Amino acid sequence: MQTAAPFPTLTRNTTERRSTVRVTRSRAAALAAAAVMLSGGCGGSSSGGAKGADADRFSVALTEPDHLTPGNTSSDYSITVLDTLFETPVSIDAASGKPVMRAAESVTSTDQKVWTIKIRQGGAFSNGEPVTAQSFADSWNATAYGPNGWTNNYYFANIEGYDKLNPEKGDPSTDKMSGLKVVDDHTLEVTLTAPFSQFPITLAYIAFAPMPKAAFADLKAYDQAPVGNGPFVLDGAWEHDRQIKVKRSPAYNGERRAKAGGVTFKIYAGRDTAYTDLRAGRVDLLTTIPPASTAEAQRLLGDRFLRTPDGTMDYLGFPTFDKRFASRDLRRAFSMAIDRKAIVDAVYDGAFKPMASLLAPLVPGYRENACGEACTYDPAKAKALFDQAGGFSGTLTLWFSNADPSYEQWMTAVANQLKQNLGISDIKLRKVPASDYLSSLRERKEDGPYRNNWVMDYPSPQDYLEYMWGAGNRMGWENKEFDDLIKQANSAPGLDASLPLYQKAEDVALAEMPMIPLWNWQNQVGFSGRISGVNVTPYSKNLYAISVKQG
């Protein structure tokens, strides 16, 4: 049995390949492809033929972000931008899936409970302010401070003093976690509530990025114009629902120096329009070609198309706080009534992988058929279990966002299968604007099953299980056995020792089925002939490494 943490001492390796970037809640894309409708190597894009500074700029298709404060967003769209503006303490190596140093020089511990983070000297924010241990402490405290209501608050729950910033009743008595100690300008000591061998890998998530002192003068204004420590800096105002422009940061001296002069994030309402623009040469990079267009893209784009595995998962969650969905048998009946493969083939042209696990295949501890019978399509057994549970009366409302047309397509397919296989006749679709969807779920406004999507923050079972099924989850599901197993796994002496415990916790969640696993994303990327160096991995889009061809 392993007796030491898998990452007890981490130090900067100055020869580390520059393609390894921080992991985000980003869906890992694959590499990609450009439209054959683009003429030649430098043929038309929105930046094609540009003069001056714009000649060294490329464009990326994106959906409108919700926030641009590192601690206040879990949106893939936001994190794509933030990855260019910020640098977290560590990143994830694409080859090994293990953490490597970025803004930190080292992350060490002798007991896995008290961790010492050495901050790389010479780092600076784009406004010239130095990046120090205090920069990280201030940012983490702001994210953990309950009254701020920031999305990534819960990532700091295992740091001592978090509870004082998030009391069950009344206002916090402090705005600083006692577990954060700034030893000197370049040393931050972090004391956790319990040993946690995987703490270093969590530091790759965007919530752990630093913020400058200038941010705290007006946090609302900062959200619109963030100042970071990454390879790019904002270039003008955030033009909502239109574009966000960034340019190479003169203050950055780390290992991810930008090769292009700038990036324009073009905002699209849906991937289909973005794909049309990629083919027409109006955008240079699309990291999520619509799965239904995969065959066409592969045929047209040739060697500028690549499909790769991803950590992103789709689920169907239940509002278990609603008594109509309190029955475990009812939820399991829904799962068995859904033909995952048929939906993947019809909606995604077979590009996604039907799942019988809560974890993505690239995550340590993944088991291909962890779910067993409950995730096997069997209409007859599903109907028998449904009837045994007392059935369902009233209107069944299925919730999803309007961020992509495929969401409505597969929800429609689910509705049809539930009607046919379970006999639920009154089913309605509730399509919510993408900008409001996550807040609606956080506030538990949903009155029926809902699309839940998880983009891997870092490759660990804990990232999936604790954050989606643990305390404060969106389903309102509570299970002491599950919580105890997660605590035991988190405190295990190393990854090898933790995996069986995480798997037992997964078994508990699958037996109760408060959320149904559906499919794992497999990503397709397309890019224009204007750019080179595209290297999208399961952990980052690596936009800093892209060059614009001249000529």
Question: Each residue of 193-235: pLDDT tens digit?
Answer: 999 988 999 999 999 999 999 999 999 999 999 999 999 999 9
Q: Which residues of 252-276 are buried (b: 16+ CB within 10 A; e: fewer)?
A: bebbbebbbbbbbbbbbebbbebbb
Side chain identity at residue 203, one-letter code: L
pLDDT higher at 397 or 23: 397
Model confidence band, residue 70 (pLDDT cutoffs 50, 70, 90): very high
Number of domains in the chain: 2
The gap from C-alpha 223 to its chain's centroid, in whole angstroms, comes to 19
Within 359-459, residue ranges assigned H as helices are 379-388, 405-422, 434-442
SS3 for 204? coil
Look at residue 297 and tell me if it is in a domain. no
Specify the pLDDT at position 9. 36
Residue 88 sits in a domain whose CATH number is 3.40.190.10
Phi, psi of 207 (to 5 degrees): -60, -20
Residues 358 and 267 in one domain: no
Q: Over the chain, what is the mean pLDDT?
A: 89
Residues 174 and 225 in one domain: yes
> Half-sphere exposure of residue 456, counting CA atoms within 13 Å on the CB side?
31
Q: Does residue 6 carry a pLDDT above 70?
A: no
Look at residue 52 and tell me if it is in a domain. no
Residues 464 and 335 in one domain: yes
| Residue carrying structure tokens 């998530």 | 205
Per-residue pLDDT, averaged over 440-458, amounts to: 92
Residues 239 and 316 in one domain: no
Look at residue 302 and tell me if it is in a domain. no
SS3 for 376? coil
Look at residue 47 and tell me if it is in a domain. no
Residues 488 and 539 in one domain: no
Look at residue 12 and tell me if it is in a domain. no
Per-residue pLDDT, averaged over 16-25, amounts to: 27
Which structural domain, as residue segments, surrounds residue 102? 57-284+528-548
Per-residue pLDDT, averaged over 249-276, amounts to: 95
CA dihedral 66, 68, 73, 78 (to 10 degrees): 70
Question: Rounded to the nearest 5 degrees, what angle is found at the Cα of 271, between the Cα atoms of 66 and 269?
Answer: 45
Residues 62 and 200 in one domain: yes
Residues 407 and 500 in one domain: yes
Model confidence band, residue 433 (pLDDT cutoffs 50, 70, 90): very high
> Half-sphere exposure of residue 190, counting CA atoms within 13 Å on the CB side?
28
Q: How far apart are CA 231 and CA 252, in angstroms?
A: 6
Look at residue 23 and tell me if it is in a domain. no
- Bridge partner residues of 515 (DSSP): 317
Within 206-253, residue ranges assigned H as helices are 219-224
Residues 247 and 195 in one domain: yes
Q: How far is CA 175 from CA 71, 180, 185, 189, in A?
A: 15, 12, 20, 17
Q: What strands, in cross-sheet order, belong to the sheet with 180-184?
A: 9-11, 104-109, 114-119, 187-191, 180-184
Residue 333 sits in a domain whose CATH number is 3.10.105.10
Look at residue 443 and tell me if it is in a domain. yes
Q: How many Cβ atoms from other residues are within 10 Å of residue 298's Cβ?
A: 16
Look at residue 435 and tell me if it is in a domain. yes
Q: How far apart are CA 146 and CA 149, in angstroms?
A: 6
Residues 398 and 414 in one domain: yes
Residues 442 and 537 in one domain: no
**What pTM was estimated for this model as a whole?**
0.78
Q: Which residues contact 386 (CB under 8 A, 6 or more apart)?
A: 329, 330, 333, 334, 337, 392, 422, 423
Residues 469 and 537 in one domain: no
Residues 475 and 329 in one domain: yes
